[in-house]
Amino acid sequence: MKKRGIGYASTFYGTGYGNGFPDISRAIAELGKDGNVYIYVGATEVGQGAKTILSQIAAEALGIDFSKITFICEDTSITPDAGTAAASRQTYNTGNAIKLAAEELKREIMNVASEELNVNTTNIQEYLKKIADIKGDKVIRKDGIFTASTTEMDVETGQGNPYYPYTFSVYGVEVEVDTSTGIVEVLRAACGQDVGRAINPKLIEGQIDGGFSMGLGYAIMEDLNVENGKIKHDRFTSYLIPTALDMPDIDKIIVEDPESTGPYGAKGIGEPVLIAVAPAILNAIYNAVGVRMTEVPVTPEKLLKALREKERGA
């Protein structure tokens, strides 16, 4: 017999290192001899779209086309430290550092345009190459540094400001449970994700898809099967991960409530889009068959055992 159920889960997540740990990002903005703007930053691209998002922030701060930005990262010999690609911090932290550096660079370019070209304008794009030619080997280069607000929790009072900012999300899923086989299929899902300000909505949707896929695997598939300290499922023939065929349609709801301290109001959402997926799926399983699963992944064997125990209890 197949039974359907609906489940929900919500989460709040503090981005950044937190609890008073120094959370600093640095960036450099430079006008190149070719008239393009070069952004040097140690932010690592691991598929989250950092290069695109951070380049967009730089272009916005300078008021120039995205195509005029050359983004240089992951080379420690020429880029300043921007911290790790972790804790969902790059968009907020490094985005702020880039914004500061780009704004300083724009002010300097405007000063040169006024003094050397007798031009007073905030639209600097058409003058970039002329100013680069005027400066020659005297590179216009500006630094930006941003430190996130975080204080260590007081162990006596429990008070403090461990993270800043926080982001919020909620998932709803519908599952179908086959009570004869124990197989759980996720039929559809919806995600409401607070992003502060959506700098690149398509990349946000991609993050939600990726986060849901990881949460789906965590909830019902990915089983290391450790016995006596030995991993039994040590290859992909036995360690199952979701494929495109396992993914449901996801209604992605981007919630924009600009964060006043973020770059153009943006927050990071790398990890938040994952956290609530498994709880929502487990709640949906409970809604479908009345069994509260407390261990993941919910494999068919575990679910069938729980269903038999429920029947014996009844």
Active site positions, annotated:
271
Name the maximum alpha-carbon separation found in the chain. 88
Q: Tell me how far CA of residue 207 lies from CA of 203, 272, 290, in angstroms.
A: 6, 10, 32
DSSP 203-260: HHHHHHHHHHHHHHHHHHT----EETTEES--STTTS----GGGPPEEEEEEEE---T
With tokens 């008021």, the residue in question is 63
Contact 128, 36 (CB under 8 A): yes
User: What is the helix (H) or strand (E) element at residue 143, kind and residue range?
Assistant: strand 140-147
Contact 252, 208 (CB under 8 A): yes
Among 221, 218, 215, 223, which residue's Cα sits nearest to residue 276? 215
For residue 210, count other CB atoms closer than 10 A to its CB: 15
**H-type alpha helices, the chain:** 50-62, 95-117, 128-135, 201-220, 272-275, 277-289, 300-313
